[in-house]
Amino acid sequence: MPFHYEKDADGVVVVTMDMDGQSANTMNAQFRELMAQTMDRLEAEQGLTGVVIASAKKTFFAGGDLNALLAVETADETYFRYVEENKAFLRRLERLAVPVVAAINGAALGGGYEIALACNRRICVDDPAAVTGVPEVTLGLLPGAGGVVRITALLGLEKALPVLLEGKPHAPARALELGMIDQIVPDRESLIPAAKAWIRANPDAHVQPWDRKGFRYPGGDADAPNVRMTATVAPTLLIRKTRGLSPAPERILDLAVNSMRMGFDSALRAESRAFCKLVVSREAKAAISTFFFGMNALKSGRFRPEGPRWRARSAAVIGAGMMGAGIAYAHAERGLETALRDVSDEAARAGKARAGAIAEARAKKGRLSAAEAEALTARIRPTAQDDFAGADVIVEAVFEDLALKEKVIADTFPLLSEEGIYGTNTSTLPVSILAEACPDPARFIGIHFFSPVEKMQLVELIAGEKTSAETIRKAWDYVRQIGRIPIVVNDSRGFFTSRVFGTYLDEGMALLRDGMAPAAIERAAWKIGMPVGPLQVHDEVSLELTMKVHATHKALDARLGVENGFPADNAATLAVAGPMVEMGRLGRKAGAGFYDYGPEGRRLWPGLAQFAQGPGASMRDAEDRLLWRQAIEALRCLDEGVLRSQVEGDIGSIMAIGFPHHTGGALRFIRGMGPEAFKARADQLADAWGERFRVSERALARLRDDGRAAA
């Protein structure tokens, strides 16, 4: 039986969940049937003294069936009743006239933790994998099986809100500290005995706190001053974080607060109503598609070439600047011995010091012990010599200068091991052209890290024309070895991420040129959910670097005999950045760029008015221009074959360049609103602001085809 039912001589029934044909227990049609049968049997059981809910899977319970949730198109009264009927099983469980214990042997997330909440006691094994929590908010949903209402009642509003709104999984010790579980046992074999022992010692502990007469919320009821203050301040703090773009956190907050002012069962019904509204939302569909199915596909190796797993034993990084030091740190953090090479011992040692400072900062925050930080830094060997022959991975991370990179690649490629791979950390230069500098282009690949490396988890792998599938596979494995997430794209100037991000920056310049107030441009970026406004990004990156990259591509155009070979239009950026550089306004490091920087902070430079050539754009047009420009470029990358899949494009756009999280990614944004509606708005923008917003039917057809293949 999928739910094993075993009653001992003392009258305690152990229900062990082991659903057929599934690696994990989930809330689906099978669960609904099994719970109905189990509750009928428990309620009719003679001589029942207690119940233990356990699992035969590696995890306790995995939560809702996301395929089923993704398929919900209309949350009408029929669907509402369906949600309510599922929740009713847990209400029946917690109203049994005997104590009920959850024996948590592994992860109990979402619906799994909601099952545990319906028990009188939660006992968990001492295993880091046995995490508990409600991650629904990260999927655009709320805990719909009583989680919001019960967690608020269990912990009180102040402690419940972080659990509900952050969606983090908590290891046993932390869960115990928070009050999410009640007891930890050393191993799985101890779970059932501990549960039965508690039942024997507490035969009358079968009434949930919230069902007891005179129940008071921990930390204060709804009218307590501290709770009223939390309820008053929380919405403002939440809007600052979500910008009003993600409905799930707002509904969770509203429900948690108001659940304290209504009866428990009424609050459960209100929770069901809120869940129904969210499950059909565009934001939930996007989050489930991208952050669950998409990310799982990426991490599982769906886009990795087939072949045996590969592991690098040693590595070298050429260039000990901020990027090279960050890459060396990423290696050392995962135990990969790395030589950090620069033109002088002093420069190489400075690079190691930068990596050491990262480790030291993390040690101060308690993420590493002092000994771990010291051992990590010791794995980095600074050198000014080519004394790393036999390295399995060499990453060239020198300045974005074509001639310099070609020289470094030619000089150091022979130092690879026979099975090794060579990566160039370039953000825009064609890998196929750089590969001409090495004797074996099949083993050469672009490995594009993002800054700051220690914080950015995505790595863009760029396959050149001659890069072998074996090299892509090894590079993919190497990126996973150092704890990063790889996407694989085909060669192009700017590849995928730099092309798309460049359009965001350029459109900011176009808005400035069109006469929009600088503060309004930055505000428009904030309103759509971009992490940083385009003017501030230019200052952080450095306008001087922008112009140097442009000069590099002009030189490449001359070599190849082409004009304007970079595929993404950057005319507005050049029209503004060139004069800014001539004025000495190079960005934040220079103390002057689009902003003035001083002891009191930064403020937009009043002189930006000189670049205005028009009457400005409406806020709606500005928001859409910043969004549509990026999405259109992502669509072009898919159409041109630079992107190999929509999934990689969506995750790459969010994790690498900060495309608004709530959309699920640049391509998911188009699919979410519908290709026809997207094109209609793009045509309006093109008619008003230029042909860069024009979308081809062929590109939209490719998006539709790719989406069907992904499904």
CATH of domain 314-488: 3.40.50.720
- Tell me: the pLDDT tens digits for 631-688? 999 999 999 999 999 999 999 999 999 999 999 999 999 999 999 999 999 999 999 9
pLDDT value of residue 562: 87
Average pLDDT over residues 619-635: 98
330 vs 65, higher pLDDT: 330
Contacts of the segment 373-380: beta carbons below 8 A, 24+ positions apart: 376/329, 376/332, 376/333, 377/332, 377/352, 379/331, 379/332, 379/335, 379/336, 379/337, 379/338, 380/328, 380/329, 380/331, 380/332, 380/338, 380/340, 380/352, 380/355, 380/356
451 Cβ contact partners less than 8 Å away, ≥ 6 residues apart: 322, 323, 326
pLDDT value of residue 564: 81
Which residue's structure tokens are 């060669």?
491
Arch. (CATH architecture) of 3-280: Alpha-Beta Complex (3.90)
- Tell me: the pLDDT tens digits for 433-461? 999 999 999 999 999 999 999 999 999 99
CA 243: distance to chain centroid? 18
- CATH 3.40.50.720 residue ranges for the chain: 314-488
Percent of the chain with pLDDT over 90: 91
Phi, then psi, of 459 in degrees rounded to 5: -130, 130
- Tell me: the pLDDT tens digits for 525-561? 999 999 999 999 999 999 998 998 888 888 888 888 8
Residue 29 pLDDT more than 90?
Answer: no
10 Å Cβ neighbour count for 233? 10
10 Å Cβ neighbour count for 705? 12
Q: What are residue 183's DSSP bridge partners? A: 123
**Whole-number Å distance between alpha carbons of 682 and 634:** 14
516 vs 549, higher pLDDT: 516
- CATH 1.10.1040.50 residue ranges for the chain: 497-641+645-710
pLDDT value of residue 707: 61
Helix (H, G, I), strand (E, B) or coil at 272: helix
626 Cβ contact partners less than 8 Å away, ≥ 6 residues apart: 504, 507, 508, 511, 524, 525, 528, 530, 534
Residue 710 pLDDT more than 90?
Answer: no
Angle ∠(202,144,170) on CA atoms, nearest 5:
60
650 Cβ contact partners less than 8 Å away, ≥ 6 residues apart: 290, 294, 664, 665, 666, 667, 668
Cβ-contact 164, 252 below 8 angstroms = yes
Residue 579 pLDDT more than 70?
Answer: yes
The model's confidence at residue 64, banded by pLDDT at 50, 70 and 90, is confident
Helices (H), ranges, 186-321: 191-201, 225-242, 247-259, 264-279, 282-287, 295-300
- CATH 3.90.226.10 residue ranges for the chain: 3-280
The model's confidence at residue 563, banded by pLDDT at 50, 70 and 90, is confident
Give one word for 628, left, alpha or beta, with left for phi > 0 and alpha for psi -120 to 50: alpha
Name residue 554's amino acid: K
Residue 520 pLDDT more than 80?
Answer: yes
DSSP state of 617: -
3-state secondary structure 538-560: HHHHCHHHHHHHHHHHHHHHHHH
Residue 261 pLDDT more than 90?
Answer: yes
The model's confidence at residue 711, banded by pLDDT at 50, 70 and 90, is very low
**Whole-number Å distance between alpha carbons of 587 and 581:** 9
Cβ-contact 110, 63 below 8 angstroms = yes
Is residue 204 packed enough to be buried (19+ CB in 10 Å), middle (13-18) or exposed (0-12)? Answer: exposed
266 Cβ contact partners less than 8 Å away, ≥ 6 residues apart: none
Residue 466 pLDDT more than 70?
Answer: yes
Is residue 308 packed enough to be buried (19+ CB in 10 Å), middle (13-18) or exposed (0-12)? Answer: exposed
pLDDT value of residue 566: 85
Cβ-contact 483, 638 below 8 angstroms = no
Residue 30 pLDDT more than 70?
Answer: yes
pLDDT value of residue 17: 96
Cβ-contact 292, 139 below 8 angstroms = yes
Average pLDDT over residues 462-476: 98
pLDDT value of residue 708: 56
Please, what's the b/e burial string for 551-577 (b: 16 or more CB within 10 A of its CB; e: otherwise)? Answer: ebbeebeeeeeeeeebebbbebbebbb
Please state, rounded to an integer, the average pLDDT across all residues of the chain.
Answer: 95
Pick the CATH number of 497-641+645-710 from 3.90.1200.10, 1.10.238.10, 1.10.1040.50, 1.20.20.10: 1.10.1040.50
Residue 199 pLDDT more than 60?
Answer: yes
Tokens in use for 346? 């002093």
Cβ-contact 594, 605 below 8 angstroms = yes
**Whole-number Å distance between alpha carbons of 649 and 640:** 13
Give one word for 285, left, alpha or beta, with left for phi > 0 and alpha for psi -120 to 50: alpha
- For residue 547, CA distances in Å to 207, 511, 579, 581, 608 come to 70, 20, 10, 8, 18
Average pLDDT over residues 557-572: 86
pLDDT value of residue 176: 98
The model's confidence at residue 567, banded by pLDDT at 50, 70 and 90, is confident
10 Å Cβ neighbour count for 9? 6
Average pLDDT over residues 489-518: 96
Cβ-contact 268, 114 below 8 angstroms = no
**Whole-number Å distance between alpha carbons of 534 and 509:** 8
Tokens in use for 308? 């045996």
The model's confidence at residue 277, banded by pLDDT at 50, 70 and 90, is very high
Angle ∠(172,90,252) on CA atoms, nearest 5:
70
Closest by CA to 642, choosing from 499, 505, 503, 504, is: 499
Helix (H, G, I), strand (E, B) or coil at 69: helix
pLDDT value of residue 705: 80
Let me know how many helices (H) and strands (E) the chain has, helices first: 29, 18
